[in-house]
Amino acid sequence: MIGKWWKKRTLEKIQISDEQWQAAEAQLFCLDHLGAEDRRRLREMAREFLAEKQWTGAQGLPLTAPMQLSIALQACLPVLNLGLEHYRGWVGIVVYPGDFVIPRQTTDADGIVHEYDDQVLGEAWEGGPVLLSWFDDPDDAGGVNMVIHEFAHKLDMENGEVDGIPKLPEDISRRDWIAAFEPAYEDFCRKVDEADRRGEETLLDPYGSEHPSEFFAVMSEAFFETPEVLHDEYPAVYELLRRYYRQNTLPRDSEGPLRAFSAP
């Protein structure tokens, strides 16, 4: 009971005006497919998410309401029809001003330790916080939705191994998942290599070829940001993500004009 009372009190303290929501939503093309009732539910979930998480601005970044609303809406979008409980068990959200550096250490086969700096846009720690970079101009992020990307990693971690296979609902078998994702991942790795050789770019973010877990995160970004591209390239992956996220992100009227993309 005490827990519930506390949560209710915290939620009541968060007052967000309609104008504030609208301003945050207007920047997010990834919400285009949602109807009025879905948007209402998403706002409610985002409010709860704001209250439940512990927010920190890194490197002196002052956290503002527009920033937090934008991150909360994007973080909640993938779990809109799955439930916020998928993000329980950890509380920290750390926001950096732009991309940031994580010091890494690896030990090679000879036992020699190598230290290096990794420049990243975001990172999700198992059982720990989500680290995100914030850009006032979304174009500076290079067409990447790092919020959806990092939260897809969180979903992937829910069942332990970070392998590109999240905890699946009863109506999706592991076999279904692998049958759609494995050939698409292999094809994508081939396309990225080929594009590299020719000095060209792939339609989907080549970072997805790094590992099956990155492929799931990048395909999740595409599912919400550029669903037409994903559907054209890998229809089986689109279909499985539609069943997994329980959302249809393609424009309702496929005969109509294409919706605007936020990716350049």
Q: Which residues bind Zn ion (CB under 5 A)?
A: 214, 217
Q: Is residue 73 left, alpha or beta, with left meaning phi > 0 and alpha meaning psi from -120 to 50?
A: alpha
Q: Which is nearer to Zn ion, 25 or 156 (CB)?
A: 156
Neighbours of 130 (CB within 10 A): 24
Residue among 6 and 116 whose Cβ is closer to Zn ion = 116
Taking the chain, what is the end-to-end CA distance rounded to the nearest angstrom? 49
Please classify residue 151 by burial: count the beta carbons closer than 10 Å to its beta carbon, then call 0-12 exposed, 13-18 middle and 19+ buried: buried
Q: How far is the CB of 214 from Zn ion (least distance, A)?
A: 5
The answer to whether the beta carbons of residues 180 and 236 sit under 8 Å apart is yes
Comparison of 45 and 130: residue with beta carbon closer to Zn ion: 130
Question: How is the chain split among helix, strand and coil, in percent rounded to 5?
Answer: 50, 15, 35
| Minimum CB distance to Zn ion smaller for 160 or for 256 | 160
- Measured from the CB atom, the residue of 214 and 225 that comes closer to Zn ion is 214
How far apart (Å, rounded) are the C-alpha atoms in residues 201 and 18?
40
**Least distance CB 146 / Zn ion (angstroms):** 8
What minimum distance in Å lies between the beta carbon of 151 and Zn ion? 11
**Closest CB to Zn ion belongs to which residue?**
217
CA distance 86 to 158: 7
Report in angstroms how near the CB of residue 217 gets to Zn ion at its nearest. Answer: 5
Amino acid making up residue 70: S
**What is the closest distance, in whole angstroms, from the C-beta atom of residue 149 to Zn ion in the complex?**
6
Write down the least CB distance from residue 123 to Zn ion, Å: 8
Q: Which helix (H) or strand (E) holds 51?
A: helix 36-52
Nearer to Zn ion, 214 or 233 (CB): 214
Of residues 187, 176, 186, the one with CA closest to residue 236: 176
